[in-house]
Structure 1
């Protein structure tokens, strides 16, 4: 069961642990008070559903959104850039009392008339002030003749509604304190929300008088929602519309209010209180949370807040330069701001989830719930993958541990607490209704025979390198002692359930050998999805990447054991030596014919998809067509001879000897322009491969069949740095490739960020453009480590 204790006076008890919404905070507790923000542009006639911004969505088409600064504990600053205006949200926390202390949000809205490429521009009479790519303010007297691409909006001042809400999750109470406002089109104004929950005791949420102007309107409404994932639906259900005249033209105004025809549906479980403020740009709003158990001399708002925010931002900048010294490497202000934003988005993307997975085993006819548990985890993408992924998390912690090791260790402990008695961890954590609402039904159930790459060992090994080797201090020893028994169970599960058909080999479970619709059956458990494996899944397969993961895991286990359990260290060292043995590795996985490391299995390279006509069993139905795979050549047991990321694993995880002939061959192949090398990074599959950029089914486009993935490229850059150390015949070649590959990756990702406003899930190997999900500030944020050369 989950054994993570809730510490209410922890400085990180409150946090932005709702990465799936543009702005929201909660506590690290099972039934937290949930707070959040929505906004809506007024005076528009909307035909379909109101574009009420709440959860991070691709369809909202924001020009950019994300944290520009976030330290994971005390403060954060975030910009949401829309067409014509910017919403900035910031927060500052203050410790005190027994329930996580106080916090304040500040929400500001700014009108913008121009956005130069991806640079925010503020319009003033007769001139423009812009921040250029080097971070310098430039004044332009004749902006309409300035020779640069621009986006222009010439409408007058925009009217927005900002909706703050607080919601309880099946327990606690919220009480509004309302004052008559006597402003146009408005009757009441919530000044304070008083509340009480089990985790927080008594608290209040205040709305100090805002710098908003005389035409501010206020509305509030209490509602009930079917769950936290239905909060936006509750707001839309309470939304009403009216017509008002603005500059002698009729405009629509939307506001919250009770209506007999819009009552809450049965089965509601969450109480929600909405506070709506409607006002023109520019504006500034403060929202102040005060714990009933904390003492304070002054309210954390207005000038006090401004001073505190500036102080934390200054400390953040200092700490960032200490941990990631980019100035000394020649990066300019704009590039350093990019790196700060990417690291901040990783930290700001840490979420706390509570609930249970749905698990299927061979002994059960239907899925059953895993136990209820809490999980603190980073997420790959706030818009598309706002939940925990086991294979991603090890890469996330490589960056987070460099910024805040205590946070990284806490996250690792949370993940390991999800082990069942056999040593299995569900690879995708879909905990709670909010997380589940973002996941297609077919991906919800987890199968307890299926593994995922044990990348947490990468992060733990990285943390170990920061220890004092001669004298491990008590804090470090305590952390290792806590995780070691769980790592043993996890490690043993791999060596029990994922072993291959011959000694010292390994095989990913979970491939579908019965499918006729996939050109090459996916191996989702490997994390590389549609990367080509043996064409006909069988128990004879040997997977070189899994063998290398286990070599890394055994080496890390040996290092930990030397500190906390010396008697067991020799066992892990022996396994590590065996899995690193070049003779055995080459016997199992080196294809001498092709000169590359390869999987082994029942394989035919001559497979293709063809459309066939099928007669339905019901004679009253018409024949139908579908794409099925067809063999041009029968499979046989052999090396798959596919060259791509999997072929590189003995190099990526630094198992090869620096002077080995196989490393020489890999370095030569890496630099070949028609294989993996591109001007933007290493592509996932060789351009010569028959499955390069081929659809895997009629509807599944290529995923790991040519695109550039940052996590694998990070491992490649790290390995090249390792092998460039003087003393071997390969060092000079490795050093050259290290310099070129690192430059290609960093340069392209920065260029794409400037162009599009985001980091991306992967990058096109021909154009370098970002593709897939955005923002993808999970492992793509490892660009910060490549920039600072922290491996």
Structure 2
């Protein structure tokens, strides 16, 4: 509030001067009036300065508030998308559902599959499958083959039944082409003698529009055909979908045409529309969809959700054909035998391309191992989604979370069931496989991620875009803070791309890198500005909670290694060895890219790289002479444990959650009592010189079974570390405290390959460990895949069994790269 200026009282002296004579006997009223005016003028100017200052301060604060959701002001990296890339327009871009197709358009119509077995349907719709849910406890599901552009084949084992879903795209027309999807359902061979021969399946195929999609959809009724769907949208033009039963005996079919409150509630809309019906009083009751339903109290009148249900005896298969009105001179529908032939051709072509890319057959792998590798790659490629929406973000200058700008994201996802959205540090690992299969898909993914960078140079580390994505995320993880980083793994992807494809860059690819470069510069600078450490050359992850008394060791989610033990008491004086190494890799990659693009700025990045790759600097900051290992530095004590407080007598509803107690005060030191992934980052990211004795010590340590070596890969934390397999809270089981993670094992195998091929004192030692570790990791992942039906998030360090979520065909799919040895 501006201060209120008071009226100035006249002094007695001023009054006297107005009424008395001057020394020369004349009246001199003007001798005091200028002083009064000057005082008034002074206060007026002061108030104006204060008001202006306050306005500037508030204006600047308002400016700072807007920076977190202001886009980076430069050319977008993605130059062509949507209908400008027709071969990528349609795809299985809904990784969170078992089977569904949509387009790369911000407001795409979505299509998808639900199913259930009528005799096994339970109250409340339990038994209807739609979203990939761990709680469905399916024996197995995932893509067997998927090329990322034209076709895919997937098997889903649901109890004693097996569903095979596939699709083939057909180019043509002006609206992204056409496609056919096939859903086949049968009883698994080993269960055929146990299943009632009258068993039925209900297949529900649907189309839905979001609230902003321009257009309409409606059922097409016919007395002689299964009901279909027709419609028109701004991106698809006029279209129709027809259903063609192929095998099996249809018992009945029904449809639903209604308004769904959102794409995240399609299954609930179906459940609420199921009805019981009888053809005759003596016949069995049938479960049908309710037809045309106009919900009460809904503003939208036109239906945005149409579903077709077909119930048939097993075995049963049906083709869904999408046709665009803009396709002319269509000879034959891609249905029936013609579809089978087309799918077979695509599969044969996929097999040859897979061998040309990874050469597993020529390396001596058997067909079972190759089938695993094809499934791992295909689940990575088939797990690429297209999302549109706005993240929730917050900065120090905003009182509440605010929306980021609305934007698309084309990205792979770590897990279709548990993490069906984009994660920044995961995606850099994904790119190491995707770029080997299809470089242009990977460049497109990178472009979409960097088009999400804001004016500060920050990218939200977790992308939760659209209703379907938000519905899968606990509320506490939705908001992204602009102080928090994530490992810049995209520099690893760019390193690989420059190594393999530099001689093959087309003008279009070079132009994309030109558009990308300023955004990489902003990203790199953001790290240097916000994650800088307390002393020269050091770096520190932000985002640790120094006030918590519930966590045994406050998590460092921003590092990607979550609960890996760091300094027990977070302070601003910490320095983290893994972030130091990431920044070394980032600077060297920026320098190399700058040289390729002819940028003079490469020199400053090269100087930074030379500075950080100086092993003497790294040793001064992070090497412990006592334990002979690299380590974080911070305020630390190992004497911590979780204890449940004693209850107070006669008090009700007490919070007796376990809290952390400290029996020995922390001190500033290197956190060298812990040994695990963080401690070997100078080796993992190949910062260590090949003749460094410290490299020899790390090679010896990682091979020690009493530390992190196992028969299944490197465990994340050594068995003799104080927090090995300890819960971080009473509700949080250990995560990076002993389990085997394939992404870090991949980095280890990659580093071992590098040091085994680089002349140095430890070349032979590296080669020996390389052969052992690579075999252990690959063999165990394959063994668990065939034992459980899944590729897993992590693996048990004692038994090798899969743990965490499944399927996890994000970075665990890097097993394929280890098999091919294309590092």
Q: TM-score, normalised by structure 1?
A: 0.91
- Aligned-pair CA distance for 1:190: 4.3
CA distance change for structure 1 residues 267 and 343 in 2, over 3 Å: closer, same or farther? Answer: farther
Q: 1:286 aligns with which of 319, 336, 357?
A: 319
CA distance change for structure 1 residues 762 and 222 in 2, over 3 Å: closer, same or farther? Answer: same
In the other structure, the counterpart of 1:7 is: 82
- Aligned-pair CA distance for 1:467: 2.6
In the other structure, the counterpart of 2:264 is: 229
In the other structure, the counterpart of 1:634 is: 665
In structure 1, what is the Cα distance between the partners aligned to 2:657 and 2:427? 38
2:554 matches 1:521:
yes
Q: 2:110 aligns with which of 22, 34, 42?
A: 34
Q: In the alignment, is the contact (CA less than 8 A) between 1:399 and 1:782 conserved in 2?
A: yes
CA distance change for structure 1 residues 611 and 50 in 2, over 3 Å: closer, same or farther? Answer: closer
In structure 2, what is the Cα distance between the partners aligned to 1:428 and 1:519? 25
In structure 2, what is the Cα distance between the partners aligned to 1:532 and 1:504? 22
In structure 2, what is the Cα distance between the partners aligned to 1:265 and 1:222? 16
Q: 1:163 aligns with which of 179, 204, 207?
A: 204
In structure 2, what is the Cα distance between the partners aligned to 1:16 and 1:472? 28
With 666-675 and 156-165 compared, the bigger mean Cα shift is at 156-165
Q: In the alignment, is the contact (CA less than 8 A) between 2:567 and 2:637 conserved in 1?
A: yes
In structure 2, what is the Cα distance between the partners aligned to 1:756 and 1:285? 29
Q: 2:135 aligns with which of 59, 63, 67?
A: 59
In the other structure, the counterpart of 1:407 is: 441
Name the SS for the 1:309 alignment partner.
helix
- Aligned-pair CA distance for 1:680: 0.5
Name the SS for the 1:493 alignment partner.
helix
Matches within 5 A, 1:640-679: 640-641=671-672, 642-679=674-711
With 347-356 and 300-309 compared, the bigger mean Cα shift is at 300-309
In the other structure, the counterpart of 1:436 is: 470
With 683-692 and 304-313 compared, the bigger mean Cα shift is at 304-313
- Aligned-pair CA distance for 1:567: 0.9
Name the SS for the 1:664 alignment partner.
helix
In the other structure, the counterpart of 1:210 is: 246
In the other structure, the counterpart of 1:581 is: 614
Q: In the alignment, is the contact (CA less than 8 A) between 1:43 and 1:253 conserved in 2?
A: no
With 489-498 and 154-163 compared, the bigger mean Cα shift is at 154-163
- Aligned-pair CA distance for 1:292: 1.6
* Residues 613-672 of structure 1 deviation map (CA, whole Å, 9 limit, x = unaligned): 3669xx974444221111111111100012100011000001111111110000010111
Name the SS for the 2:238 alignment partner.
strand
In structure 2, what is the Cα distance between the partners aligned to 1:391 and 1:727? 31
In the other structure, the counterpart of 2:19 is: none
Matches within 5 A, 1:55-204: 55-114=131-190, 153-170=194-211, 171-180=214-223, 190-204=226-240
Name the SS for the 2:120 alignment partner.
coil
2:534 matches 1:534:
no
Name the SS for the 2:764 alignment partner.
helix
Q: In the alignment, is the contact (CA less than 8 A) between 1:710 and 1:779 conserved in 2?
A: yes
Q: In the alignment, is the contact (CA less than 8 A) between 1:191 and 1:208 conserved in 2?
A: no
Gaps of 5+ in 1: 116-122, 124-151, 182-188
Q: In the alignment, is the contact (CA less than 8 A) between 1:226 and 1:268 conserved in 2?
A: no
In structure 1, what is the Cα distance between the partners aligned to 2:648 and 2:608? 54
Q: In the alignment, is the contact (CA less than 8 A) between 1:226 and 1:267 conserved in 2?
A: no
* Residues 299-335 of structure 1 deviation map (CA, whole Å, 9 limit, x = unaligned): 1111221111111111100000000111112111111
In the other structure, the counterpart of 1:378 is: 412
CA distance change for structure 1 residues 531 and 252 in 2, over 3 Å: closer, same or farther? Answer: farther
With 42-51 and 694-703 compared, the bigger mean Cα shift is at 42-51
In structure 2, what is the Cα distance between the partners aligned to 1:509 and 1:426? 14
In structure 2, what is the Cα distance between the partners aligned to 1:717 and 1:245? 67
In structure 2, what is the Cα distance between the partners aligned to 1:592 and 1:683? 24
Q: 2:343 aligns with which of 309, 322, 337?
A: 309
* Residues 75-115 of structure 1 deviation map (CA, whole Å, 9 limit, x = unaligned): 00011112222111110001112211000101111222417
* Residues 244-276 of structure 1 deviation map (CA, whole Å, 9 limit, x = unaligned): 999x9x96632111488x946636697100111
2:740 matches 1:697:
no
Number of aligned positions between the proteins: 742
2:393 matches 1:318:
no
In structure 2, what is the Cα distance between the partners aligned to 1:271 and 1:322? 45
Name the SS for the 1:329 alignment partner.
coil
Q: In the alignment, is the contact (CA less than 8 A) between 1:67 and 1:348 conserved in 2?
A: yes
2:599 matches 1:570:
no
Name the SS for the 2:528 alignment partner.
helix
2:290 matches 1:257:
yes
CA distance change for structure 1 residues 600 and 287 in 2, over 3 Å: closer, same or farther? Answer: same
Q: In the alignment, is the contact (CA less than 8 A) between 2:551 and 2:728 conserved in 1?
A: yes
Q: In the alignment, is the contact (CA less than 8 A) between 2:255 and 2:291 conserved in 1?
A: no
- Aligned-pair CA distance for 1:209: 4.7
Indicate the structure with greater helix content: 2
- Aligned-pair CA distance for 1:475: 3.1
With 289-298 and 152-161 compared, the bigger mean Cα shift is at 152-161
Name the SS for the 1:477 alignment partner.
helix
* Residues 41-88 of structure 1 deviation map (CA, whole Å, 9 limit, x = unaligned): 012362443311000011111111010000000000011112222111
* Residues 371-406 of structure 1 deviation map (CA, whole Å, 9 limit, x = unaligned): 000000000000000000001000001000000000
Name the SS for the 2:365 alignment partner.
coil
In the other structure, the counterpart of 2:57 is: none
In the other structure, the counterpart of 1:780 is: 812
Q: In the alignment, is the contact (CA less than 8 A) between 1:45 and 1:252 conserved in 2?
A: no
CA distance change for structure 1 residues 42 and 650 in 2, over 3 Å: closer, same or farther? Answer: same
Name the SS for the 1:465 alignment partner.
helix
Q: In the alignment, is the contact (CA less than 8 A) between 2:245 and 2:317 conserved in 1?
A: no
Name the SS for the 1:79 alignment partner.
strand
Q: 1:336 aligns with which of 325, 350, 370?
A: 370
Name the SS for the 1:155 alignment partner.
coil
Indicate the structure with greater strand content: 1
Name the SS for the 2:719 alignment partner.
coil
Gaps of 5+ in 2: 1-70
